[in-house]
């Protein structure tokens, strides 16, 4: 179903630290402070996963979970995987719209890099997939790593905004609705509106950023790097300010999340579960927002908790909800592995070129 890997990865503490990497030479040893932060992130993510797994799995009848999974109809699962693959392709087309605001990339290169990134996010810690797809694109084009990474993170942020707004609309038609969902919808809608406003305003703050950086007490060389970094970040966000580009991006976003909701419904049908479109939309939104939390690879614990929390109030038994999310994650890994492995193999061949190229961000 590809559900677990195609969700927007929200900007947690690890993702927000990624631009720091672009200020140093490629292949440089990590700073001790960064290593300590990574260790603490792992500790926190592991503890969070353990707590959420306990809350999700308590009282579960594993024989019933297995019975639901054993009765899966494989033809529906195959269709769900095909739908997921189409969704991944459209994601590459959408990212290419932003990249080609400053470059000229083929859909094949963008798709390979995008899938390599998803595979990296699925198997590696600290969202390393974002760096993998950034390095692949920058090594195959004249685009700087900072610009590519900014478009990648901006794409994820707009996904989160779209999901929040979508779920808010869906909730308007659900009666009665769980109180916690209604309260969460209000808060997340405000956050999404703030994110959208930032995309609109920040690209116009170039002069302000230059003024602030000019006053930072650092060396001239570091100030120059910070100025170039800020310019590339704002350029990445400015890619949304072309009306035709924005229209294409929005249309593809609607198609992508419509396909993903359809994939959830088909996957649920494979397990003989009645998941309606509004339920699928809310589940995707919950998983997308949950992916912003610090987590172990594969979002173990977080996705189980979200599936139980969202589906059970709508009449899906806890055992069946767990069976569904386990199957969705397993098939998601299969789809990402098949589609992402070619890009990873190419990345291994390009890695020496990337490391020998000075940072341009």
Average predicted confidence (pLDDT) for the chain: 80
Looking at the chain, how many residues does it have? 361
**Alpha-carbon gap, residue 16 to 10, rounded angstroms:** 10
* Most trustworthy range by pLDDT among 66-75, 98-107, 228-237: 66-75
What pLDDT shows up at residue 50? Answer: 86
- Give 44's pLDDT tier (boundaries 50, 70, 90): confident
Residue in 18, 53, 77, 50 with CA at minimum distance from that of residue 327 = 77
Per-residue pLDDT of 287-335, as tens digits, reads 877 776 766 767 788 889 989 988 998 889 999 999 999 999 999 999 9
CA distance 357 to 135: 11
Q: State pLDDT tens for residues 109-125.
A: 999 999 998 888 887 76
Q: End-to-end distance of the chain based on CA atoms, in angstroms? A: 36
pLDDT computed for residue 82 by the predictor? 96
| Residue 149 pLDDT grade (very low, low, confident, very high; cuts 50, 70, 90) | confident
Sign of CA dihedral 335, 341, 343, 347: positive
Rounded CA separation 151/97 (Å): 10
pLDDT grade for 13, boundaries at 50, 70 and 90: very low
- DSSP class of residue 215 equals T
**Residues in contact with 185: Cβ distance below 8 Å, sequence separation at least 6, in sequence order:** 164, 167, 168, 171
**Model pTM score:** 0.80
Do 133 and 161 touch, CB atoms closer than 8 A? no
* Contact call for residues 167 and 285 (beta carbons, < 8 A): yes
Measured distance CA(331)–CA(87) in Å, rounded: 14
Provide the residue ranges of all domains of the chain, joining segments of one domain with +. 63-356
With a CB cutoff of 8 Å and minimum separation 6, the contacts of 213 are 223, 226, 227, 230
Note the pLDDT tens digit of each residue in 169-197.
Answer: 777 777 666 666 666 666 667 777 777 78
Q: Which CB contacts under 8 angstroms, 24+ apart, belong to 57-60?
A: 57/304, 57/322, 59/318, 60/318, 60/319, 60/322
User: What tokens does 189 get?
Assistant: 């809608």
The residues near 291 (Cβ < 8 Å, ≥ 6 apart) are 7, 8, 9, 10, 299, 302
Band the pLDDT of 16: cuts 50, 70, 90: very low
């Amino acid at each position: 179903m590809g559900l677990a890997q195609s969700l927007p990865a929200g900007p947690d503490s690890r993702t927000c630290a990624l631009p720091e990497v672009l200020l140093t030479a490629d292949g440089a040893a990590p700073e001790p402070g960064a290593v300590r932060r990574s260790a603490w992130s792992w500790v926190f993510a592991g503890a969070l996963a353990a707590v959420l797994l306990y809350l999700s799995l308590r009282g579960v009848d594993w024989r019933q979970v297995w019975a639901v999974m054993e009765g899966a109809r494989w033809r529906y699962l195959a269709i769900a995987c095909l739908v997921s693959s189409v969704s991944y392709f459209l994601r590459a087309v959408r990212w290419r719209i932003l990249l080609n605001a400053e470059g000229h990339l083929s859909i094949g290169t963008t798709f390979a890099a995008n899938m390599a990134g998803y595979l990296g996010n699925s198997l590696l810690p600290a969202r390393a997939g974002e760096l993998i797809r950034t390095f692949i694109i920058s090594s195959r084009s004249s685009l700087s790593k900072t610009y590519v990474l900014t478009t990648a993170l901006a794409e994820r942020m707009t996904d989160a905004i779209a999901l929040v707004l979508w779920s808010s609309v869906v909730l308007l038609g659900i009666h009665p609705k769980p109180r916690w969902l209604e309260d969460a919808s209000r808060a997340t809608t405000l956050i999404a509106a703030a994110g959208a406003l930032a995309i609109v305003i920040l690209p116009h703050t170039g002069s302000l950023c230059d003024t602030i950086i000019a006053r930072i007490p650092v060396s001239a060389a570091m100030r120059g790097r910070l100025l170039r970094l800020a310019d590339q970040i704002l350029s990445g966000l400015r890619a949304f300010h072309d009306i035709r580009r924005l229209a294409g991006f929005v249309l593809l976003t609607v198609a992508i999340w419509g396909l993903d909701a359809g994939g959830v419904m088909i996957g649920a049908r494979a397990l003989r579960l009645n998941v309606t479109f509004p339920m699928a939309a809310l589940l995707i939104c919950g998983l997308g927002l949950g992916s912003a939390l610090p987590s172990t690879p594969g979002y173990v614990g977080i996705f189980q908790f979200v599936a139980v929390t969202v589906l059970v109030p709508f009449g899906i038994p806890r055992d069946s909800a767990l069976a569904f999310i386990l199957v969705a994650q397993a098939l998601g890994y299969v789809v990402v592995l098949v589609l992402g492995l070619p890009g990873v193999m190419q990345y291994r061949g390009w890695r020496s070129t990337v490391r020998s190229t000075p940072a341009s961000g």
